[in-house]
Amino acid sequence: MTCCTNYRKIVSGEARGLGAGLARGALSLLSVPYRWGSSFAEVIQTGQGAEHVALPVISVGNVTAGGTGKTPFVVLLVEMLRAAGRRPVVLSRGYKAEADGRNDEARVLERRFPDLIHLQGKDRLALARRAATARLGDVIVLDDGFQYHKLARDLDVCLIDATNPWGYGSVLPRGLLRETLSSLYRARLVVITRAELASESEIDDIRAGILRHNEYANIVVTEMRLTQLTDAAGRAQGAASSLAGKRVLVASGIGNPGALLRNVRATGARVVAHVERGDHHPWDAADVAVLAARARETAAELVVTTMKDVVKLSRLDWPAADVPLRAVDVEVHITEGEELLSTLVTEALSRR
């Protein structure tokens, strides 16, 4: 069991006993300065005023740490903008970027859109200025921008994961909230993701919770759908539904591994094991050896992972004689509010 798994068990309350209780108490104490610091930073940065650039800016972010489905939503947004004849430029921080300056999210977008301009760096305001001055595109998509106050945006989108909407009710490190839920007042559009893993009543409760913090929020509901399988090089290997009945070992280094497991099982696959690593895990040769050995031990027919993981695993030598490696491609499907999303995006584009 990894440290990330243990941490989630503690903050969620799943872990019981004296040790887990003491850990939660210590994490609660550590959350106090974090809450004060994040609130102070918002006041200071908001008071300074955000800078406008000469391009419309659509920000996509969240209030919890990782795993809300930002990358699939950015893919959807890029497709929408291109279908409307626009030339989007994506800006992101590049968290855990490698030596070439790109991280796993950049590599996933590169596979999907080989000609997409994607700029990564901590100073996203400077990147936005560059995109506008050099006319690299005609609209900016700011990835993971909800807490980035320096750059003004024309549409602020906040994603809420239906499987864990409120980050266990506490800010980091006691919970997964990056800031308090009162920050939802900044979002013009709130998108509920992974609705397929929640009941209708749970979605209604999430919607009510959003409106308690932002009575003017526009709400869109989406599902994550596994569409196809690819090999390590990105070549199509059939529909995700072909997993039905197969014994699979799931490998993940993402923010919400539980949701991945539930979606893979929903295809009818028989999950025989799960090798879990931390979010943005830098897979290496030792990990490959572990996966191959575990697959043999469990008589798995396939090792199934995510697009974010396979772009890193693809650069390693996968044993040709061992169990095949496959990645599941995930697409966002809007179940409620498709016209609303289109209208808000169109309005944002018309402002500049």
CA dihedral 239, 245, 248, 253 (to 10 degrees): 50
Contact 81, 141 (CB under 8 A): yes
The two tokens of residue 83 are: 């279908």
Measured CA to CA, the distance from residue 71 to residue 41 in angstroms comes to 26
Characterise 135 by phi-psi region: left (phi > 0), alpha (psi -120 to 50), beta (else).
Answer: left
The two tokens of residue 7 are: 């941490």
The two tokens of residue 28 are: 């609660």
Q: What is the pLDDT of residue 8?
A: 80
Contact 218, 188 (CB under 8 A): yes
What mean pLDDT comes out for the span 216-234? 97
pLDDT at 1 over 60: no
Q: What is the pLDDT of residue 268?
A: 98
- Decide the pairing of beta strands 218-230 and 325-336: antiparallel
CATH 3.30.830.10 fits 48-225+333-350, yes or no: no
Q: What is the pLDDT of residues 22-49, one digit of tens each?
A: 888 899 898 888 777 776 666 666 556 7
pLDDT at 121 over 60: yes
- The DSSP letter of residue 236 is E
Nearest to 181 by CA among 272, 63, 100, 298: 63
Nearest to 125 by CA among 58, 51, 56, 55: 51
99 phi and psi angles, rounded to 5 deg: -60, -30
Measured CA to CA, the distance from residue 52 to residue 50 in angstroms comes to 7
Q: What is the pLDDT of residue 101?
A: 82
- Enumerate residues 6+ apart whose C-beta is below 8 A from 212: none
Kindly indicate the confidence band of residue 3, based on its pLDDT and cuts at 50, 70 and 90. Answer: low
Kindly indicate the confidence band of residue 322, based on its pLDDT and cuts at 50, 70 and 90. Answer: confident
Q: What is the pLDDT of residue 282?
A: 93
Q: What is the pTM of this model?
A: 0.93
Average model confidence (pLDDT) for the chain? Answer: 93
pLDDT at 64 over 80: yes
The two tokens of residue 32 are: 């106090």
What is the percent of the chain with per-residue pLDDT over 90, rounded to a whole number?
80
Q: What is the pLDDT of residue 320?
A: 63
Q: What is the CATH number of domain 226-331?
A: 3.40.50
- The DSSP letter of residue 279 is T
Q: What is the pLDDT of residue 42?
A: 63
Q: What is the pLDDT of residues 328-343, one digit of tens each?
A: 999 999 999 999 999 9
Strand partners, 303: 249, 325
What mean pLDDT comes out for the span 211-221? 98
Q: What is the pLDDT of residue 14?
A: 84
Task: Decide: helix, strand or coil at residue 326.
Answer: strand
Q: What is the pLDDT of residues 193-210, one digit of tens each?
A: 999 999 999 999 999 999
Q: What is the pLDDT of residues 254-274, one digit of tens each?
A: 999 999 999 999 999 999 999
Q: What is the pLDDT of residues 135-164, one digit of tens each?
A: 999 999 999 999 999 999 999 999 999 999
